[in-house]
Amino acid sequence: MQNNVLGTVRVLEASRAAGIQKLVYAASSSCYGIASVPTDETHTIDPQYPYALSKYQGEQAVLHWHKLYKLPVNTIRIFNAYGTRTRTTGAYGAVFGVFLKQKLEGKPFTIVGDGSQSRDFIYVTDVARAFFLAAMTTKTGEVFNVGTGLPQTINTLVEYLVGEVIYMPQRHGEPLCTCANIDKITHQLGWAPQVTFESGVRSMINHISDWSEAPLWSPESIALATESWFQYLKKSQE
């Protein structure tokens, strides 16, 4: 909340004082919660955990500053972004960083659930291009989904990475599928994803040494790090 809400408000106030030409907020598709797919920008908002809530509240602040102060803003709701230098820290670190470190160390990949769950993985260069177009357009006060609309299973990911697998119990509060409806950004900004999932994963493998200093997650450390978090998510769904 300190970073994603109050930090965003400080950026908004600094932007207003500086008279910026455009601000593009990095919103999160996690605001949709357990959503029907493909998910468009009008879908019901239902954050399932504090990170999702904080990112949505930051987005609401951005749109409020646009409405009240006429600050020229757009926001993009990023689905499952990945690419070189993907973060690996924290209990909710990106799956790519976890898997690449495990591959480097010759350890099995830790898959939560049966691996059939799918995510709308979008490569970082496609995300960067969406930021650029959202900044350059004359449109303001707009919300755009950024994904591929082509979700990939976790099992498909480990097939590309190649290695042994350990399956862990499914966690409550996580969607079985994320899939962006990208009609709006395609029609209004002329944006479309250019990097296929296979080529994106290949690029990650080519840079695998970048994860040599990343933390190594094991089934035990993952269970410990997420125990209380998913305990509350389970209760909220009962």
- The one catalytic residue in 25, 32, 49, 51 is 51
Q: How far apart are CA 224 and CA 238, in angstroms?
A: 22
Question: Which residue from 69, 71, 72, 95 is spatially nearest to 82, judged by alpha carbons?
Answer: 95
Q: What CA–CA distance (Å, rounded) separates 63 from 68?
A: 9
The pLDDT of residue 153 = 97
Is 51 part of the annotated catalytic residue set? yes
Q: H-helix or E-strand containing 76?
A: strand 73-78
Radius of gyration of the chain (CA): 18
**pLDDT tens-digit series, residues 86-144:** 766 654 557 888 899 999 999 999 998 899 999 999 999 999 999 999 999 999 999 99
Q: Are 158 and 122 in contact (CB under 8 A)?
A: no
User: Does residue 150 surpass a pLDDT of 80?
Assistant: yes
Distance, in Å, from the CA atom of 55 to the CA atom of 40, rounded to the nearest integer, reads 17
CB 52 within 8 A of CB 33: yes
Q: Which CATH class for the 2-237 domain?
A: alpha beta
Locate the DSSP E strands across 94-164.
109-112, 118-119, 121-123, 142-146, 152-153
Question: What pTM value is reported for the model?
Answer: 0.90
Closest CA to 201 of 84, 118, 78, 109: 84
Range from 111-125, 161-175, 224-238 carrying the lowest mean pLDDT: 224-238
pLDDT at 169: 83
Give 236's pLDDT tier (boundaries 50, 70, 90): low
Residue 205 has pLDDT above 60, yes or no: yes
Residues 6+ apart with CB under 8 A from 49: 30, 173, 229, 233
Q: Quick check: 146 and 79 in contact, CB under 8 A?
A: yes
- Show Cβ contacts of residue 152 under 8 Å, excluding neighbours closer than 6 positions: 118, 119, 120, 121, 197
Residue 96: the pLDDT is 87
pLDDT digits (tens, 9 = 90+) for 42-67: 999 999 889 999 999 999 999 999 99
Cα–Cα distances in Å, from 25 out to 48, 57, 79, 141, 196?
Answer: 21, 12, 14, 11, 25
Neighbours of 226 (CB within 10 A): 17
Beta strand 118-119 with 152-153: parallel, antiparallel or unpaired? antiparallel
From 86, 232, 97, 95, select the one nearest 171 (Cα to Cα).
Answer: 232
